[in-house]
Amino acid sequence: MTRRRRPRSASVFSEREFHAWLVRQGRRSTDVPLPLGDDAAAVRLRPGRVALLTTDALVEGTHFLAASPPRDVGSAAAAVSLSDVAAKGGRPVGLLLDLLLPPRTPVAWARAVAEGARAEVRRWGGELVGGDTKPSPCRAVIGTILAEAEPGRLAPRTGARPGDRLLLTGTAGRGGAAAFALQRHGPTPPVLRALLRVEPRLFEGATLVRFAHAMLDTSDGVAESCRILAAASRVRVELDLDSVPIHSKVRALPKAVDRENAVFFGGDYELLATVPARRAAAAIRAVRRVGGTVSEVGVVRRGSGAFVRRGGRTSPMPSGGWDPFRWALTHVAASHPRVRLK
């Protein structure tokens, strides 16, 4: 009698094989003294510089979809943490990439994620230096960035001062426009790419930090960033909506309420900075010299809270901004009825 062979476990993700593949793909750098796959990563920092560490996670069903191109997922996983580095005027040095994967995840998916993440961090002068893989009920990608910055130029969220001018790089509403496109057109290839398109403003951040009292990225939306800034600095932040450059895809939305919701939705990854009034014009010119765009969009005053001006009228900042847990309750639970979210 012929004995049936047990099916090969090639379809089960192998941590060791994936690590071996990563080592073969990487190149040694004098700034990375330990090889990829060692017990820890090591990078060299110059004297007189501080280390910045930041991490962010992308979870399937909340930040990307099953059909999302894995290389785009990896690029975004690096870029969202790079955006935090940009908000402190930092220069990236190394990236740690953690992959939480169902055991039967195709190895090609994991490789494409790693390739996307490596390409993104190398684009800004950093290197993929390590990470981890673990089994998980759903896919998640975590990017942790090590960067360096000047200790006296970190523009903390607590640093805004009355009289400062509010500056915003780029445009508002890109992330919201992508989310509205998903609702209207479904997960088409252009929509999936737009949802994961993140352009960290590292050149702009390194320039603005020379002028800014405070700075943060607008990953949660410009409205939420104003609220965070006002609370952290104990000031009143007034956003002049008429001065905010709006993304072209937002302007194409048919309803005014959808346009405003898109502007405040989140996922823009621009920089919001406060600079002294007398230096605002110089800061704008400096950002333009490095190829960026920045606009004066408001003012910081004595008081508390975040407010918005429209057509000369001032009112409390409306609710809005990215809330991953609220999004998970309304979207993930509907897509995955077996998952209970509380």
Q: Quick check: is 2 in a domain?
A: no
Kindly report the CATH number assigned to the domain that includes residue 301: 3.90.650.10
Q: What pLDDT is recorded for position 93?
A: 93
Positions in the chain short of pLDDT 50: 1-9, 332-342
Domain boundary among 149, 166, 182: 149
95 plus 182 within the same structural domain: no
Q: Which among 95, 101, 139 is positioned nearest to 116, based on CA atoms?
A: 95
For residues 102 and 137, the answer to whether their CB atoms sit within 8 Å is yes
Q: What is the pLDDT of residues 118-132, one digit of tens each?
A: 999 999 999 999 999
143 plus 21 within the same structural domain: yes
Q: Which range of residues forms the domain containing residue 299?
A: 157-329
58 plus 207 within the same structural domain: no
d(CA 293, CA 249): 18
Q: What are phi and psi of 273, to 5 degrees?
A: -130, 150
297 plus 186 within the same structural domain: yes
For residues 166 and 237, the answer to whether their CB atoms sit within 8 Å is yes
Domain boundary among 88, 119, 149: 149
Domain boundary among 102, 122, 149: 149
Q: Quick check: is 41 in a domain?
A: yes
- pTM confidence score: 0.85
257 plus 141 within the same structural domain: no
Interior/surface letters 6-15, b for 16+ CB within 10 angstroms, e for the rest: eeeeeeebee
Q: Quick check: is 201 in a domain?
A: yes
User: Which residue is associated with the tokens 């969009």?
Assistant: 297
Alpha-carbon radius of gyration of the chain:
22
Q: How many folded domains does the chain comprise? A: 2
Kindly report the CATH number assigned to the domain that includes residue 73: 3.30.1330.10
Q: What is the pLDDT of residues 225-280, one digit of tens each?
A: 999 899 999 999 999 999 999 998 888 887 777 788 888 888 999 999 999 999 99
114 plus 162 within the same structural domain: no
Q: Quick check: is 77 in a domain?
A: yes
d(CA 20, CA 74): 19
163 plus 48 within the same structural domain: no
Q: What is the pLDDT of residues 272-310, one digit of tens each?
A: 999 999 999 999 999 999 999 999 999 999 999 999 999
d(CA 129, CA 339): 34
